[in-house]
Amino acid sequence: MLLAAGESPTYLGPVVALLVAAGVIGYLSIRLRIVPIVGFLLAGVLIGPHQLGLIDDTGTVTAAADIGVMLLLFTIGVEFSLSRLASIKRMVLLGGGLQVLVTTAITGALVMAFGGGWRTAVFTGFLVALSSTAIVLKVLSASGRTTHTVGRASIGTLIFQDLAVVLMVLIVPLLGAGPAGGGLWDLLRALGTAAVVLTAVLLIARKVMPPLLERVARTCSPEVFLLTVVAIGLGTAYLTSLAGVSVALGAFLAGLVVSESRHSAHALGEVLPLQIIFSAVFFVSIGMLLDLEVLLRLWWLVLLLALAVVVIKMLGSAVAMAAVRVGAPAAVAGSLLLAQVGEFSFVLQRTGSEAGLSPAGLGADGEQVLIAVTVALMVATPALAAAGDLAGRWLLARRPGGTAAGTQRAGAEDDREGGVLISGWGPVAERLASTLLSRGVPVTVTTLNPDLAAAAEAGGHEVVRGDPIKENVLTEAGLRTSRLVVICENDNDEATHIATVIRQLAPGVPIVVRPRDSADALAFAPSGADHIVDTPGAVVATLATTVLRRLGLVDPDSAYPDPSVIVDFVAQPAPECPHVSEVQAVLPKTAGCTDCLRAGRHDWVHLRICLRCGHVGCCDSSPGRHASAHADSAAHPIAASAEPGQTWAWCFLDRTELQRQSPRPS
C-alpha cells in the first residue's frame, strides 16, 4: 500500500525510537565502561509505556525479542559443541543440577515460611534458580575468563539451567489451579513427546546438516550462507515448538547441530551481527516492562528481595561449585557471577501467569516486583562479578603455594601458542606453510573456500573455516596466541581490511602482508601491518625470508633497510620546512643504494629513503651521493635516514632536519 505524502508507517516511529535509544545509551555505557546490556535495559525503562511512552504497542518489540532469544541460544549452541559439552558434563549435570535444586529448595522454603502455598513456592523457586546466560557470557568474554575454571563452571551451570527451562515450562502449568493445570500423566506424556522430538532432531540433523552446510558454503555467497544458517536455527526452533518443546531449546539444539559441521566458525561469524541486534531488542523489551511508579512505591520490598536473591543464589551456586571441586576462589567468584535472575524467568513467568500463579504470591504487584528485581540485579552483575573476582584473588593469596584455581586457564586452550596464522590459501600460502612446517613452526589457516580448506588440511595444517574479518573466526584460529599473522592471498583492499581488524583485536601480534596486486604503502600504513611484501618485485622466497627473520629463525641484516617495512614518517608538530606536506608512507625499493647496486658497488657510507617514492640512495659522505642526486632529479626533497635507531629526515632544499613524531614499532 502506498503512503500519501507526509505520511509514514505506524511502526517506523517506535522502531526508530527503540534503535536510537538503544544506540545512544549503549554508547554511553561503553564510554562509562558498563556492560552494554545494562544500557539496553535502561533504554527500555526510559522509552517504555510506563515512562516516556515512546512505544505504546509492544507487540512488534516482543516478537523481535523472541527472535533475539532464539538467536542468542542458537549462537550459544554453536559455540558449545557436543564434544565441548561432553568435556564439562560433570559441571553441567552435577554442578548445574545441584545449583537449580538447592536454589529452588531454599527459595521455596522461604516462600512457605512467609505463608505461601507449596505451588507458589515451587514456581518462585524456579524463577530465582535461573541466571542470565546473556549477561554472564558477556561479562566472562569481556574479562577473558571464558576458558578459566570459573568460566567453565559458570557456563556448565548456565547450560543446565537452559535445559531445565524445558522441564519447568512443562511443570508450571501443572502447578496452577486453573484449566491450564493437569496431572502426572500429562507431564509424562509431554516429557516423552519432547524426548522423541529431541532425539529425532539430533539424529536427522547430524546426518543432514553437515553436507547441507558444505554444499551451501561452496557457493562462497555470504548472503545464501547467512540465510541458510538463520533458517536452520529458527526452523528447528519452530518444529520443536510444535511438539511442545520451548523454542529456546530448539534453537540451542540447532546450534549444537551446526557446531558439528566444519563450518561452525563461519556460521557463528555470519549470524553474530544479527544476533546482537535482536538480543539488544530483547533486553530493551525487558526494560520496557518496568513501571517506575511501582518501583518507587515498593522500593523497600524490591531492595529486600534483591538482597535475598543474591544470598540465595550465592549459597546455591557455592554448593554446586564445591561439589565439582573447582576450588574456593572459583566457587566464590562463580557464585557472585551467577547471582542474578535470568531472562528466561520472564518466559516462565508468562507461563505461570496463564496458570494463575504469581511470583512469591504477591498477586498483581508480583510481576512488577520480579521485573524490578531482575533489572536491578542485571545492572549490578558487572559489579558483583568484579567483587567475586577480588574475593577469589584474596582467597588465593591466603592459600600457601597454591595455583589460581579461579583464574587459571582450564584445559588445553593454548595448544596453538607459538604458531603462525595464515589468512587465505593458495600457491604462495602453501609454499610458505610448508617452509614453516619444515622449521617446526605450526600453522593455522583461515579461509572461506571449502576446497581450499580441504587442500590446507591435506597439507597437515589446522584450518578454521570462516571470514577472517570476523572476530570469532580469528579467535578460534588462535590469533591472540600466534607469534605472527600472514595475509598472503588477497588483493590490496581485502588485505588492508583484514590487517585493520587483526590489529584492533591483537595489537601486539606482528602482521606480514603479501597482496596479490602491487602493494599500496599509503593504504597499508594506517592498517597496522608491520611488513609488506610487494608482489611484482618479490618471489615466495622473499616472503618466507621476511617471516623467518621476524620469527628470529634467520639472522637479520640490520645494516640495510627492509623493503617489507613501511616507512611512515610523521614529523613533529610545527616543522619549519614547508615541504613536509609532500611526505607520505613508502616502502623502500631496495635493501641498499639503488644506483650503487646497479653499478655493482657496495661502498656507500649511509643510506637515505625518499619519502615520496621509496628510492634508496647513499648519503653525501658516500662516493655516489645518490640520495641528493635523486632529490634534485625527481624533485623529491625529503629523505629519511635508513640507519637503525635514527628517527630524523632531511630536506635537501631547505637544509632542514626533521624529527619523527612517533617511530613506528617494528
- Can you give the CATH number for the domain in which 630 is found? 3.30.40.10
Distance CA 414, CA 662 (A): 34
22-62 confidence digits (pLDDT tens): 778 778 877 777 767 777 877 888 877 776 766 666 666 77
Lowest mean pLDDT among 65-79, 107-121, 228-242: 65-79
Asked if pLDDT for residue 78 goes beyond 80, the answer is: no
Assigned domain for 446 exists: yes
* Pair 607, 525 in one domain: no
pLDDT at position 408 is 46
* Pair 382, 430 in one domain: no
Residue 627 pLDDT class (50, 70, 90 cuts): very high
Asked if pLDDT for residue 308 goes beyond 90, the answer is: yes
* Pair 220, 333 in one domain: yes
Assigned domain for 522 exists: yes
What mean pLDDT comes out for the span 515-537? Answer: 74
Assigned domain for 110 exists: yes
The CATH number for 489's domain is 3.40.50.720
Assigned domain for 565 exists: no
Which residues, in sequence order, are bridge partners of residue 486? 422, 512
pLDDT at position 53 is 67
pLDDT at position 548 is 63
Note whether 504 and 471 are within 8 A (CB).
no
Q: How many residues does the chain have?
A: 666
344-397 confidence digits (pLDDT tens): 887 788 788 878 888 888 877 788 888 888 888 888 888 888 888 888 888 877
Mapped onto helix, strand or coil, the DSSP state of residue 183 is coil
Name the DSSP letter for residue 148.
Answer: B
Which residues, in sequence order, are bridge partners of residue 608? 617, 641
* Pair 381, 453 in one domain: no
Q: Indicate the residue among 510, 531, 550 that finishes a domain.
A: 550
pLDDT at position 415 is 41
Structural domain of 515: 420-550
Q: Whose CA is closest to 436, among 556, 543, 516?
A: 543
* Pair 589, 483 in one domain: no
Assigned domain for 132 exists: yes
pLDDT at position 566 is 84
* Pair 599, 642 in one domain: yes
Give start and end residues of each alpha helix (H) in 470-586.
471-476, 492-505, 521-524, 540-550
Assigned domain for 40 exists: no
Residue 421 pLDDT class (50, 70, 90 cuts): very high
What mean pLDDT comes out for the span 4-33? Answer: 71
Q: Indicate the residue among 362, 397, 432 that finishes a domain.
A: 397
428-456 confidence digits (pLDDT tens): 888 888 888 877 888 999 988 888 888 88
- 195, amino acid identity: A
CA angle 254, 275, 244 (to 5 degrees): 40
* Pair 323, 391 in one domain: yes
pLDDT higher at 372 or 186? 372
pLDDT at position 266 is 72
The 3 state secondary structure assigned to 587-601 is CCCCCCCHHHHHCCC
pLDDT at position 403 is 47
Assigned domain for 8 exists: no
The CATH number for 258's domain is 1.20.1530.20
Mapped onto helix, strand or coil, the DSSP state of residue 253 is helix
Lowest mean pLDDT among 152-156, 209-213, 503-507, 543-547: 543-547
* Pair 523, 629 in one domain: no
pLDDT higher at 631 or 490? 631
pTM: 0.59
Asked if pLDDT for residue 105 goes beyond 60, the answer is: yes
Q: What percent of the chain has pLDDT over 70?
A: 81
Domain count, the chain: 3
* Pair 392, 441 in one domain: no
CA 229 to each of CA 235, 304, 564: distance values in angstroms, whole numbers, following the listed order: 10, 44, 40
Task: List for the chain the helix, strand, coil content (%; round to 5).
Answer: 60, 5, 35
* Pair 160, 82 in one domain: yes
Show the cell assigned to 33: 565502561
Note whether 168 and 103 are within 8 A (CB).
no
Which residues, in sequence order, are bridge partners of residue 640? 609, 649
Asked if pLDDT for residue 560 goes beyond 70, the answer is: no
Assigned domain for 77 exists: yes
* Pair 149, 272 in one domain: yes
203-243 confidence digits (pLDDT tens): 766 677 777 777 887 777 777 877 888 888 788 778 777 76
Instruction: Provide the mean pLDDT of the chain.
Output: 79
Show the cell assigned to 587: 616502502
* Pair 154, 207 in one domain: yes
